Amino acid sequence: MAKLQTPRVKNWTGTLKKIWQYLSRQKRLLIVIFLMVLLSSATGLLGPYLLGFTIDRLDSDASTLTLLLVLLAGTYVIHSVAMWLHNYWMIGVAQRTVYQMRTDLFRHLHMLPISYFTKRQHGELMSRLSNDMENVSQTLNSSFIQVFSSILTFIGMLGLMLWISPLLTAITLTIIPLLYFGMKWITARTGRYFKQQQRHLGELNGYVEETLSGQRIVKTFSQEPKVQLAFKERNEQLKHAAYWAQVYSGFIPKLMNVLNNMSFAVIATAGGLMALKGGITIGVIITFAEYARQFTRPLNDLANQFNTFLSAIAGAERVFEVLEEDEEAKDEQDATQIVSIHGELRFEHVSFGYGEDEHTLRDVSFHARPGQTIALVGPTGAGKTTVTQLLARFYDPDEGSIVIDGRDSRSIQRTSLRQHIGYVLQDTFLFEGSIRDNIRYGKLDATDEQVERAAQEANAHGFIQKLPQGYDTLLTQDGSGISQGQKQLLSIARALLADPSILILDEATSSIDTITEIKIQEALIRLMKGRTSIVIAHRLNTIRRADQIVVLQDGAIVEQGSHQELLAIEGAYADMVASQFTEKPQHA
């Protein structure tokens, strides 16, 4: 991935507009801030003027002088207070904006289809939320006000200069086109490097996240040198892009400086020549030189801000990129909420593939009456988990339909449908937090008693009590501290608490030892009673009792029927059962 095309900041004005949409929500406060900036800039200009005025009258009488000093003190106080206020408020505006953008980003992620996440690195997405937003935050904090006050000061200065000497002002202003072309040259380069820098930063973040998550494997395989090398590669790419971004953007203040110095020199020379001809006095030259210095300062500030500004635009663009990803397909217009589900379930000629030319499921049809248990069996990769994913509408079938209680599942709102489906997934996932909170995830308003009862039924109560802090034991994200099997027990308890109408058990007990499994079998049977259940398991004795067994191979159904029926036809299922029991231990 050494030399990819160099990305540019695609759409400046578009990105700016979008940021403005966020800012404009606080329009009123922004107006107040603007007024305060006006006040502080005005008092900022007034101060030096009054100071000069006072100095000229240092030898006048005490009362005049006192009045002037009091006036000056007032100006200074107002200046400081106005400045403090606009800073204070602006930080609020900026942080609220950043907060809103982060929240929107997060919320939007939840609306994206599952397929979005299977193609992205977690760390890369995280980088958008942290590093890219950080750039936006820094810019908003300071640049906004800087821009205002710089423009105001600039206008003020310009007015004063014009008033003193229009000709000299015109000469001074000759630096503006130079400035324009210089900036144009620089920004043509910086934009693309900033964009590159943020992208490489994201990639680095992604790599770090992935390898740190898999640290155990890195270690046991002694692959530290390998990941260090791969990290180094990404680190170098980042350094390269960041270096050029910094160099080019570093030119900006230098450009300002040279123009500043040049205008000083120009004023000295041109002013000197004009003075020779008697057009102006020396005093004017000095005032002018001083003003010219002060007048380029706001421009200088602006230029400096431009730096942060560029990297912020690059960052914001990456954030908006995610925000503009298509959401999980919208529910169909006439899709409704459902209050309850009986649990009649029908797959009608369902075909589905994750990609273009894959066929994970082909023409799958089966029917479950309310309360029935359907077992899905078959070799790995046969499409069992895919069936359950279609049921929860993580994906929709390419062909055929899924009918629930007589209605096409596409006519039911996704969230409404999922509310009635309980899941115990193959990959148990627990959150950082207490054990209690993790079980309660199944039903957020459950009482402590309900949580403990669910844990008891899932046979998890025993081990939880042995933990140092019992139900309040904190689980770390990588789940160290409790075993895989215990995690499965917790996720069963979580599903028990959720009390769904349709239950999906995808290898729910694969890491649980068989004795414990028998103990929770009863709870599972109780759990499945009155609910339509779909069970995936490799240990065949756990699914014997199913009302119907569906045998999948390569995405297609090869057999279906009850345990007895399938044994009778002596097909694939009978084979599997035989293989499991041929190795049946001899009598002792």
Partner 1 sequence: MISFLKPYRKAAIIALVLMLVELAVELWHPLLLAHVINEGILAEDEGAIWKWGSIMIGISLLAFASGIINSFFAAQVSQGFGYDVRKKLYDRMQSFSLTAFDRYSTSSLITRVTNDVIQLQNIIFMGLRIMMRAPLMMIGGFIMALTVNVKLALILVVVTPLLLGFLLFMMNKGFSMFRRVQGQMDRTNGVMRENLMGMRLIKAFVRSRHENTRFISENVQLMERTAAALRLIETTIPVLLLIMNVSILFVLWRGSFHTDANIGEVVAIVNYATRMTGAFSVFSMILSTLARARASAARVREVLETDDPAEQQQPGAQPFEMRGTLAFEDVSFTYPGQSSPALSQLHFTAEAGQTVAVMGSTGAGKSTLFQLIPRLYEPSAGRIRLDGKLLSELSLESLRKQIGYVPQESLLFTGTVADNIRWGKEEATMGDIIEAAKQAQIHETICKLPLQYDTIVGQKGVNLSGGQKQRLSIARALVRTPKLILLDDSTSALDIRTEQRLLESLKQVDCTILMITQKVSAAQAADQIVLLDDGHVRAQGTHDELLKRSPLYKQIVQSQYGEEATGTDG
Q: Between residues 172 and 211, which has the closer beta carbon with respect to partner 1?
A: 211
Which residues are 532's β-sheet partners?
502
Q: Which is nearer to partner 1, 11 or 257 (CB)?
A: 257
The DSSP letter of residue 354 is S
CB of 363 to partner 1, least distance (A): 19
Nearer CB in complex with partner 1: 146/372: 146
Angle (deg, nearest 10), helices 448-457 and 514-528 = 120
The DSSP secondary-structure symbol of 483 reads -
Whichever of 159 and 250 has its CB closer to partner 1, that residue is 250
Least gap, CB of 346 to partner 1 (angstroms): 21
Question: What whole-number distance in Å separates Cα of residue 552 and Cα of residue 540?
Answer: 14
Least Å distance, CB 79 to partner 1, is 7
Residue 129 gets which letter from DSSP?
Answer: I
Which is nearer to partner 1, 21 or 476 (by Cβ)? 476
Dist. CA 221–CA 217, nearest whole Å: 6
CB of 58 to partner 1, least distance (A): 5
The CA angle 381-384-386, to the nearest 5 degrees, is 90
The arrangement of strands across the sheet holding 532-536 comes to 421-424, 502-506, 532-536, 373-377, 548-553, 556-561
Compute the least distance from the CB of residue 90 to partner 1, in Å: 9
Min dist CB 92 to partner 1, Å, is 6
Cβ 530 to partner 1 shortest distance, Å:
20
Q: How far is the CB of 364 from partner 1 (least distance, A)?
A: 16
Query: Is 178:260 a contact under the CB 8 Å cutoff?
Result: no
- Nearer CB in complex with partner 1: 173/266: 266
Q: How far is the CB of 457 from partner 1 (least distance, A)?
A: 16
C-alpha closest to that of 50 among 26, 79, 71, 22: 71
Nearer to partner 1, 370 or 485 (CB): 485
Token pair in block for residue 207: 């790599």
Amino acid 575 reads: D
Rounded Cα distance between 267 and 488, Å, is: 80
DSSP type of residue 411: G
Considering beta carbons, is residue 275 or 369 the nearer one to partner 1?
Answer: 275
CB 508, CB 491: distance < 8 Å: yes
β-strand partners of 549: 375, 561
Two structure tokens written together for 576: 């599997």
Reduce the DSSP state of residue 422 to 3 states and report it.
strand
Closest to partner 1 by CB, 11 or 130: 130
